[in-house]
Amino acid sequence: MMIAYLQQIYSYRYLIKTLAAKELKIKYKSAVLGWLWSILNPLLLMLIFSFIFTYVIRVDVEKFPVFLLCGLLPWFFLSLSVTMATVSIVDNASLLKKTYFPLEVIPISVVGANFFNFLISLILFIIFLVCFGIYPTMNALYLSAVVVSQFIFVLGVSLVACTLHTMFRDIKYAVELGLVIWFYATPIFYPVTLVPERFRALFYFNPLTLFIMFYRDILLYKRTPDLILLTACALLSLTFLFFGGYIFSKFKKTFIDII
Amino acid sequence: MSKNAIDLKCISKKYSLDVTRRSVTKNLLSCLKGILRKEEVWALNDINFSVKQGETVGIIGENASGKTTILRIISGITTPTKGEVKVGGKVAGILDLGAGFFPELTGAENVYLNASLFGMNKKEIEAVYDDIVKFSGLDRFIDAQVKTYSQGMLLRLGFSVAIHVKPDIFLIDDTMAVGDEEFQRKCYHKIEQLKKTGVTIIIVSHDLESLSRICDRGLLLKSGRLIKDDSMQKIIVRYVEAVGDKQSVACIDKGRLSLIFNNGKIVILWDGRPLTKNFGGYLSLKTTEELIMSWRADWQVYEADSEHFRVEGIVAKINARIIFEVYAEGERRFKWQVTVDMPHAANIKQLVCGLMVSEDYGRFLNEQVIEELRNAYDAPAKWQVLYRTNETNAPLVLLGKDKLPIIAAHFNMTEAKGVRLIQHTDKNLDACVMQIQLDLPKNSLASGDSRVAVFCRANIELLKEDDFRTVLKHEKEKRTLNANGLNIEIKKDRIHIFYKHAELTKNQGFKFGFNRGGYFINIFEGAWEAQRTEIGELMVNSNFENLSVKLRLSLQADPQALNWKMSVEYSNGQGPIGLSANLFLSEKFRKFYDFGQELEFLNFTEHTEQVMLNRPNTDFICLSTDDNDSPAVIFIAQDDSRIELQNTDFYESARVLIARSFQTNSCSGKLILCKTNEEKEDFINAYQGALMADNILSNNKLSMELRRNAIRVCSDGIEITEMEGFKSSIFSEGRWHESVPIIKEFKKNGNEFKICIKRKKPHLNEFWLFKLEEDTIHWTVKLECFDELAGSDYKFGMILKSDFTQWEDSFRCGKFVEYKNTPYTIRGVGLDDILFAVKKEDDYSDVVLFETNDNNIEGIMAQCQKSGHVVESKVQLSSLAEKDLGKMTKIISGNIKFLKRDSWAKHIDKYRLSNFTILPKKDLQLFVAPSQVRLLWRNTKITCDDGLRVAFSNDEGKSESQNNVWQIKKICQNKIDVELYRDVFPVVQKWSFESRDNAIVWEVTFKVEKCFIIKEMLIDVRLIALFNSWFTEKECGKVNFETDIDKGAVFFDHRGSFVGANMDRICYEQPAVIFNLLGDSKDWSLNIFKHYKRKDMVGYGVKRIIRQDGLVLDKGSHDIFSAKIILTADKKEPILPKGIFT
């Protein structure tokens, strides 16, 4: 049952790809520089952050720009994906009403498009690091595992948000608010050590904290991430995905009638 | 194949209406309340059906009946609330325009995206990509952003993708209407192809015709319920009935025919397939402000049973009532009656009753020829009249495809002018409408009536192919006459004549009409109807506002001929001015037989203009071809009609025979076919000799023969007349009216003919009397006028054969100038004499002398024509007065003599000498003739022909006396007066000659009519060159012809001098001419000059040179300018006539 379900989605992989490509294309379609923006955007971001946090605001954290970007890039991936995926079904109502294909394709392609962007910025970030004199080590191989688990996690979250929003249109606003809280609740621009000891355990329940820790471990501190924690984190992500997929497929039959 | 592709079991679908405001709060609230009080709608209710694989099913229903929901359920887009769906296979289709298209992306990108929406992968898409683009026909636009696409282009692209994804089940929602006709056809063609390959197709559409064509099965939905699942045809019938307000729907079923009236539209269904579209059978009223269509009215069914219904619609706005009555008279025939009852004040301008026919009907009947409708794609979007006829009972016929019955509609509306077939060429509304239109002019309706009723009847037949052919044949028969290879056919507004399948007519055929207000009106412009009567006549009745025209055509066997008769009746006001029949014959008729001789038409070249062959009207003409197989035609006009012959211009290249009637109510004639030359000759002879047997006057020299259209004169057995022989013309209303060469009345009395020629315009009878006497024909013309003609000019004359090439009158002679290739060009050669002779070329042949006895004639003139030369005497009808109207008055008389040349010479000399000669002394004579004054010495000319001349000039021109018009009067035995006028200068000269003893006194006086300037004046006497010496009182000399010419060699230097000239002394028998200028001669000089043409002539003249700036001559100042010259002649030594100088 579930395999057939996955197979069906898999058979639409080309559609997912095309839709994701469409998302990317449309985003910069009318811009003069076109797809260059998907490189320029993270690049400029990195340059601005490093300028500000190196010369303007001094934070007492070692290599703060790198530290910050290690958290910020995964965060952008999550927040953009969730925001866009939330409204994706409702926004594509006209398409969905007229043609038949698995609805999952829509949020998947949205997340996929953002994932692609994230990968580009990650590559740029590594180049950026090299410029800063931080050379990637063999530990960087763990990066793929982290990236994939984060993708699974983001997808799971997106599906949940999307389902809820399609059912109840208020969810969009709740998601927006939730993301703000989540941002601050995640040690992105501060190290987790800054959090008082008694709350710190709570922070580890936030999978994003773990992901950011992994990124920092791998890219900044050049150490092997905690593999047990990484495995646990991947399992958690999968659980999220199953949950998201479950509720999505449970409610998707009614989607067409209510969008 | 029996596997079901789609199974729908107990499907129900519920929608809640407030979806847009779905929110948590509301849900929670309603949950809290414990009642789910959402506004719900069951879009589908317990739907059960299954579709076999390869089946094509159409779904119809009103809006919101659940059609689209079914498609969504089948495609899996949505799931039913209740029930079970089984769909076997890949589903594709287009449920909406632009679905799956992203405006920001290009066409090509969208093709990929759209195809991937149907689950295709890149490889599969690439394989069919080219086909998709090709099918869509959008190659040029494929790289443009889709947001720039039109609806039609979106459809093209969407459809192209959908059919190329190789679906098992293909769904189409009512989107096709957007495409243009060409693409729609392509789509339907593709659908048919898909159908053949076993694809299951489900179509939702409102386009009933397309559905009926494509679908095997139909589903009728109403409010979410499946009402009927049956064959498409039956479904359509049910659907048309079911749509709209039930109260105003009526329906007749008669075998395969169903007629459904639904709120102002009549739908015709054949086997459930609609033959009409959009408007169906409708009525439209055009007021001054708007167009009111019948379906805007409020309709009520009053009577309805299995065979007929009667419905009434009220148009409240203009307080009009429309009544439709439909009677089915069988499976293939029904009657539709429309009555419009409206107030007079409604200001209805136009009423149209029409039938909009399905586009399955692509051909129409145009005058027995089946033609295709126009391709809507080629033409601009507008209403175009394909076919229009004024014929009142002509059916409009449309032919469909797929063995659809042929629709033949007979519309009939009182007062309506005709019916027409209109095609609207537009992508969105491509339709063909059969309609009848009635224009209501504002004042045409009786103003007293407050209400007006208009009736329209339509008999509509649905014919089988065979029946149609029969009808066609019947219609054709109704308009043709056929016998022995001669075939007369009315086509549209033309009558064509065929002989053995070759058309004799051309272009406009045989055209009948009348003249009203200066315009030719073809009888087919009225409301006409053609019909073959029981006695085998073809009858055309045409009605105009206040007149009706009847044309009868019938064939006759021996001789084979077409008889025609047109008659007109008119009720009030003025009738037509003249009727005419115009026969346009093919250019292969190259010759025409005319008054006994055969002439050829000019060949058509690009420069040929329409030529009215300027010949007298006749009632008979024969045209023949070079080709022996083609018959010659003889055109005869009866009823006092006359024939004119024309050659058209190059572009038309036809011969036109026009029979014009001077009567206003009838015009008739015959067209006879002569198959052989003998037949033609026989006929011509028979026709021309058709008068009486006793039509010849003859003696041993002359004979005169009366024919029907000519008078022939033979001298010594040789015919000398041409064409009609004799003719007369009368000048009236600014033009010459030629006589009509048709002799209807004649009387032979001994050696006399009395012929009566009756003219209609101007109204008069001419009586020509001919009396034969030895070598002379005496003729007298008497007129009986009924129109005021006093003062008009009249000419009577004869037409001589062209071999009379020379002419001569009392004073002149010359040759006829023939202008080749310019037929009937007229050259006048004189209008002076009462005596005119026409001679043949050689010196021994005949001379015809034409003389007029009367003194009142203006003269005799001759004209050169292509065939024959006309010699005629002209007279002013001054003797006619008002009191003479209706009385016979003698006008002119004369003789025609046939002489040998020598007797003519004697005759003319005798004539001349006896008339204008004065003899001062026996030896010297003065001979005066118009433009010629000569001196003779013992009967021998000593001057040239125009021996005495006066010339004067100024800067503007020169006047020479020989160019003036002369009027000679012999006052008494020794005095002749001549008046010269019509000069370039406003001067009338008066010459008077008087004989005194042995001299002639020549006195020239001028009467100046208007002030003008004169610069030089010359009076001269042109002597023959034998006069080669001169002398004055003091000197004498010899003329040196080399040096003295034009030099003013001798000058008068004193008063009273005289000059003379005499001949060479060697010839003592010759006289000297003494030239003596009387009066003040100081301005004058003697001039010696040579004749401008003849070297043997020498001129002696007195010349008065006037001051450089000229002399102004005032009106009435004549004395200054007068001169008196004495001419005397004597033998040898000149003796000065002393006695005469004072």
Q: Looking at residues B234-262, what average pLDDT do you find?
A: 76
- Asked if the model's pLDDT at residue B443 lies above 50, the reply is no
Q: Looking at residues A21-32, what average pLDDT do you find?
A: 78
Q: Looking at residues B637-648, what average pLDDT do you find?
A: 82
Q: Cβ–Cβ of B122/A26 closer than 8 Å? A: no
Distance from CA of B227 to the nearest CA of A (A): 24
Residue B442 and residue B406 share a domain: yes
- Any idea which of A51-55, B36-40, B902-906, B975-979 has the lowest mean pLDDT? B36-40
State pLDDT tens for residues A125-178: 888 888 878 887 787 888 889 999 999 999 999 999 999 998 888 888 999 999
Q: Are strands B764-773 and B776-785 parallel, antiparallel or unpaired?
A: antiparallel
What is the distance, to the nearest Å, from the Cα of residue A152 to the centroid of all Cα atoms in its chain? 9
Q: What is the pLDDT of residue B1066?
A: 37
Q: A11 contacts in B (CB within 8 Å)?
A: 119
Domain count, chain B: 5
What is the distance, to the nearest Å, from the Cα of residue A147 to the centroid of all Cα atoms in its chain? 9
- Asked if the model's pLDDT at residue B914 lies above 50, the reply is yes
Look at residue B684 and tell me if it is in a domain: no
Q: Say yes or no: B957 contacts chain A, CB-CB below 8 A.
A: no
Query: What are the tokens at B1000?
Result: 């002639």
- Bigger pLDDT: B153 or B1027? B153
CA dist., res. B636 & res. B659, Å (int) = 8
Look at residue B1064 and tell me if it is in a domain: yes
The answer to whether residues B687 and B698 touch, using CB atoms and an 8 Å cutoff, is: no
Domain boundary among B653, B678, B703: B678
The answer to whether residues B498 and B482 touch, using CB atoms and an 8 Å cutoff, is: no
Residue B495's nearest CA partner among B561, B564, B590, B421 is B564
State pLDDT tens for residues B209-245: 778 778 888 888 888 888 888 888 778 777 776 666 5
- Asked if the model's pLDDT at residue A253 lies above 50, the reply is yes
Q: What is the pLDDT of residue B1134?
A: 45
Distance from CA of A226 to the nearest CA of B (A): 40
Of B22, B25, B117, the CB nearest to A258: B22
Report the Cα–Cα distance between both ends of chain B, in Å, rounded: 145
Q: Say yes or no: A87 contacts chain B, CB-CB below 8 A.
A: no
Of B76, B78, B99, the CB nearest to A95: B99
- Across all residues in chain B, what is the average pLDDT? 77
Residue B720's nearest CA partner among B634, B845, B832 is B845
A 224-253 → B contacts, CB under 8 A: 253
Which alpha helices (H) appear in chain A, and where do they start and end? 2-11, 13-29, 37-51, 64-91, 93-98, 105-131, 142-167, 171-184, 197-203, 207-215, 227-258
Q: What is the pLDDT of residue B1055?
A: 33
Q: What is the pLDDT of residue A81?
A: 92
Half-sphere exposure for B1020 (CA within 13 Å, toward CB)? 28
The answer to whether residues B86 and B6 touch, using CB atoms and an 8 Å cutoff, is: yes
Residue B306 and residue B183 share a domain: no
Q: What is the pLDDT of residue B930?
A: 63
Q: What is the pLDDT of residue B244?
A: 60
Of A13, A26, A257, the CB nearest to B78: A257
Q: How confident is the model at residue B426 (pLDDT cuts 50, 70, 90)?
A: low
Q: A99 contacts in B (CB within 8 Å)?
A: 75, 77, 95, 99-100, 117-118
Residue type, B661: S
- Any idea which of B652-661, B934-943, B1005-1014 has the lowest mean pLDDT? B934-943
CA dist., res. B832 & res. B44, Å (int) = 112
Residue B154 and residue B36 share a domain: yes
A 154-183 → B contacts, CB under 8 A: 167-171
Residue type, B14: K
- Rg over CA atoms, chain A: 19
- Across all residues in chain A, what is the average pLDDT? 86
The answer to whether residues B356 and B161 touch, using CB atoms and an 8 Å cutoff, is: no
Residue B701 and residue B626 share a domain: no
Residue B662 and residue B710 share a domain: no
pTM of the model as a whole: 0.52
* A8: closest chain B residue by CA: B119
Highest mean pLDDT of the ranges A31-35, A235-239, B396-400, B1077-1081: A235-239
Q: What is the pLDDT of residue B34?
A: 45
CA dist., res. B689 & res. B596, Å (int) = 11
Q: B24 contacts in A (CB within 8 Å)?
A: 168, 170-171
- Asked if the model's pLDDT at residue B1094 lies above 60, the reply is no
The answer to whether residues B1005 and B1011 touch, using CB atoms and an 8 Å cutoff, is: no
CA dist., res. B119 & res. B1046, Å (int) = 118
Q: Say yes or no: B122 contacts chain A, CB-CB below 8 A.
A: yes
A 52-81 → B contacts, CB under 8 A: none
- Bigger pLDDT: B74 or B907? B74
Domain boundary among B186, B203, B236: B236
Look at residue B983 and tell me if it is in a domain: yes
Residue B936 and residue B859 share a domain: no
Residue B112 and residue B69 share a domain: yes
CATH label of the domain that carries residue B660: 2.70.98.40
ipTM: 0.84
Sign of torsion, CA B1025 B1027 B1030 B1033?
A: negative
- Bigger pLDDT: B709 or B108? B108
Domain boundary among B887, B908, B929: B908
| Angle at CA of residue B295, ends B420 and B258, nearest 5° | 75
Look at residue B241 and tell me if it is in a domain: no
Q: Cβ–Cβ of A169/B116 closer than 8 Å? A: no
Q: From the CB of residue A6, how many other CB atoms can be counted at a distance below 10 Å? A: 12
- Asked if the model's pLDDT at residue B1 lies above 50, the reply is no
State pLDDT tens for residues B959-997: 888 777 667 777 677 788 888 876 677 888 888 888 877
* A22: closest chain B residue by CA: B105
Look at residue B472 and tell me if it is in a domain: no
Q: Cβ–Cβ of B117/A15 closer than 8 Å? A: yes
Residue B972, judged by CB atoms within 10 A of its CB (0-12, 13-18, 19+), counts as: exposed
State pLDDT tens for residues B540-554: 888 887 788 899 999
Look at residue B473 and tell me if it is in a domain: no
Mutate which: A88, A100, A252, vs B, most B CBs within 10 A:
A100
Domain that holds residue B313: 247-467
Instruction: List phi, psi (to 5°) of B269.
Output: -120, 135
CA dist., res. B60 & res. B1037, Å (int) = 129
Q: Looking at residues B490-498, what average pLDDT do you find?
A: 84
Residue B530 and residue B436 share a domain: no
Distance from CA of B67 to the nearest CA of A (A): 13
Q: What is the pLDDT of residue B480?
A: 86
Going from N- to C-terminal start, the domains of chain A cover 13-258
Look at residue B242 and tell me if it is in a domain: no
Residues across chain B: 1142
- Asked if the model's pLDDT at residue A116 lies above 80, the reply is yes
Residue B884, judged by CB atoms within 10 A of its CB (0-12, 13-18, 19+), counts as: middle
Q: B72 contacts in A (CB within 8 Å)?
A: 97, 256
CATH label of the domain that carries residue B935: 2.70.98.10
